[in-house]
Amino acid sequence: MIELRTPAEIEQMAPAGRFVASVLTATAAAAKVGVNLLTLDRLAHDMIRKAGAESCYIDYHPSFGASPFGKVICTSVNDAVLHGLPHDYALRDGDLLSLDFAASVNGWVSDSALSIVVGTPREEDLALIDTTTRALAAGIAAAQPGNKIGDISAAIAAVGHGDGYTINTDFGGHGVGRTMHGDPHVPNDGRPNRGLPLRPGLVIAIEPWFLHTTDRIVTDADGWTLRSADGSRGAHMEHTVAITEDGPRVLTARH
């Protein structure tokens, strides 16, 4: 079911957005060569506890997950691009790391993701992150009242295809509110002027993710981590965005 939020409810969602942004900022800053993924998860967990927030991940067990997630942040490294389950792995120089985090504050959820390079970057990884960042910005710019979901999808795809990437539509953006994942689905490829009309009060996560040389993914042995089918690296960017009378409002903006 698609729910529209009042302006007052969107204001009530803002603290969750700021908190999610702060956790991503802190974990990204802590992600240095030699730092363990479990250390990043503990940092996020500590911030959740100190803020009196609630994790959206630790007990999360959708149909595509092998078991409850059991951790509080997704850490996807190199050829992993989505749902990376934190494990005993020390980051290495040149790793491409995607962090995806969602939490509930006062009963309202926000969801956001970013990709960074740890240590010495590869030019192709920086280019992939740049494309994904610009695709997110294009999707947000298209999230205007009176437009349709397809306009967001087409804007994301125009950037991705324009830079030579193929696009997977199995996983994409989604509604956000009292829970982490809801309707509508927001694909990362589509046709303009198609799909659900964007009305003020709709709150969605917009999240482009691209892989260097494929659009096919496989599930890791941990039952969660999604990797590229050909071993190429991936990048992932995401913001929670409210559609308002004045245009899109990014609730998870990082400053």
Q: How high is the pLDDT of residue 64?
A: 83
Which run of H or E residues covers position 103? strand 96-105
Place of tokens 């959820």: 109
pLDDT average, residue stretch 76-86: 97
CB neighbour list of residue 117: distance below 8 Å, 6 or more residues apart: 94, 95, 96, 97, 125, 126, 129
pLDDT average, residue stretch 50-55: 97
Tell me whether residue 87 is annotated as binding: no
Helix axes 7-30, 37-51, angle to 10 degrees: 140
Tell me whether residue 61 is annotated as binding: no
Q: For the chain, give the percent of residues with pLDDT over 90.
A: 97
How far apart (Å, rounded) are the C-alpha atoms in residues 228 and 22?
29
Per-residue pLDDT tens over the stretch 148-164:
999 999 999 999 999 99
Tell me whether residue 83 is annotated as binding: yes
Per-residue pLDDT tens over the stretch 219-230:
999 999 999 999
How far apart (Å, rounded) are the C-alpha atoms in residues 14 and 53?
13
Tell me whether residue 174 is annotated as binding: yes
Give the domains, in start order, of the chain with CATH numbers. 7-250 (3.90.230.10)
Tell me whether residue 161 is annotated as binding: no
Average per-residue pLDDT in the chain?
A: 97
Q: For strand 96-105 and strand 54-55, is the pairing parallel, antiparallel, or unpaired? A: antiparallel
Q: What angle do CA 64, 70, 71 make, to 5 degrees?
A: 105
